[in-house]
Structure 1
Amino acid sequence: MKQKLSISRSKGLAVVAVALASLAFAGCTTTAPKDQATASQQRTDINTSANATLSRLYKSTPDARGLVERAKGVLVFPTVLSAGFVIAAEHGNGVLRVNGRNQGYYSTSAGSIGLQAGAQSKAIVLLFMTQEALDKFRNSNGWTVGADATVAIANVGVNGKIDTNTAQQSVVGFVLTNAGLMAGVSLEGAKIEKVKL
């Protein structure tokens, strides 16, 4: 009799666990109204957010404006969201600008393993400082940081000046959070692909 009760209790717990998991996954896949935005609205949102990201960059690091002006191409991901606990994934959409004009929309995605919890948001700005680096990026069918090109994350001194060695690299990156410019980060393994919006 005890064994029957034990089996019955185990089955009951399993059913409850499956039900809770189903509810959790249903919550994760619910489509929010913003996800249903038209392509035109998505482009407008990305462009507006990209402008705001560049303004934040110039405010935190005034030297960045000169680098952006000299760059052959500027790729701005205004919002890259990462979420997870031990295994995290991140994703965001952005715009490539050449001579100040929008030249296409891209997505970035990456995964990482480590102790991290909750969701975090950051902005990423990539500057293609040479025509060769920009052409290689634009002609690729999926471009991966580290495999297709090295991205030098800008080193900024306490005086707000960008390290001259960083400024001489072919691809320079900036990573910003709400608190400001992030130092000592790596974008290694981030995959960037063109998307149709």
Structure 2
Amino acid sequence: MDKRSFLAVGLLGVLNSACTTTSSSRGDPAARRGSIDASVDSALSKLHTQVQGSRELTDKAKGVLVFPSVVSAGLGVGGSYGQGALRVGGRTAGYYSTTAASVGLLAGADSKAVFVLFMTQDSLDKFVASKGWTAGADASVTMAKVGASAAIDTQTAQQPIIGFALSNAGLMANLSLDGTKINKIDL
């Protein structure tokens, strides 16, 4: 393992333990589920308000995975972590965590909401059956593009898995979820 990989793994470990410690200190599992569900509701509402056509897509999706706050931090080597929920038929079907490592020109920290829409039953079934799912390796995630009319691009809307990333400034462009690891968590 080279030095950068070692540092990335170490940073992810620190991020993961910090987020786990924070979550654990919030109390019982029912309270944690309620907190995640409320954050998911808020993130979906923000997406629907800010991105024209997103409500129609989430309504058509077979499942919607929402990470209301994915925190990224780093200095040269970075990582990100967040917890969220999978919604199927408007109801929570499970809780998940997301982690990713990155190397490059990084400095500082940020937070974004990440949404993964499973537009086909097959893509949702493969995700649910996985013992750990990696975007780009287990399935390709097409990041949503907004056209000149500020609506979702029609080519994007026809893909089996669609991703959105929303910061305080709005929909994030030129972002890839490739390499992002998603695991089910028991709450």
Fold agreement, TM-score > 0.5: yes
Q: Which structure has the bigger radius of gyration?
A: 1
Could you tell me how far 1:114 is from its partner in structure 2?
A: 1.0
Structure 1, unmatched stretches of 5+, are 1-24
Conservation of the 8 A alpha-carbon contact between 2:47 and 2:54: yes
Superposition map of 1:27-106 within 5 A = 35-37=24-26, 38-106=28-96
Conservation of the 8 A alpha-carbon contact between 2:52 and 2:152: no
Conservation of the 8 A alpha-carbon contact between 2:66 and 2:86: yes
Supply the distance in 1 between the matched residues of 2:22 and 2:185 (Cα, whole angstroms): 21
Supply the distance in 2 between the matched residues of 1:87 and 1:196 (Cα, whole angstroms): 29
Taking only aligned residues, the RMSD between alpha carbons, in angstroms, comes to 1.7
Could you tell me how far 1:142 is from its partner in structure 2?
A: 0.3
Runs of 4+ more than 3 Å apart: 31-35
User: Which residue does the alignment assign to 1:177?
Assistant: 167
Structure 2, unmatched stretches of 5+, are 1-13
Higher strand fraction (1 or 2): 2
Could you tell me how far 1:58 is from its partner in structure 2?
A: 0.8
Is 1:143 aligned with 2:128? no
TM-score normalised per structure 2:
0.86
TM-score normalised per structure 1:
0.82
Could you tell me how far 1:33 is from its partner in structure 2?
A: 6.4
- The letter for the 2-side match of 1:89 is G
Q: How many residues align?
A: 170
User: Percent identity over the alignment?
Assistant: 51
Deviations along 1:76-132, one digit per CA (max 9) or x if unpaired, are: 000100111011010000100100011000000000001111211011000000000
Supply the distance in 2 between the matched residues of 1:101 and 1:138 (Cα, whole angstroms): 15
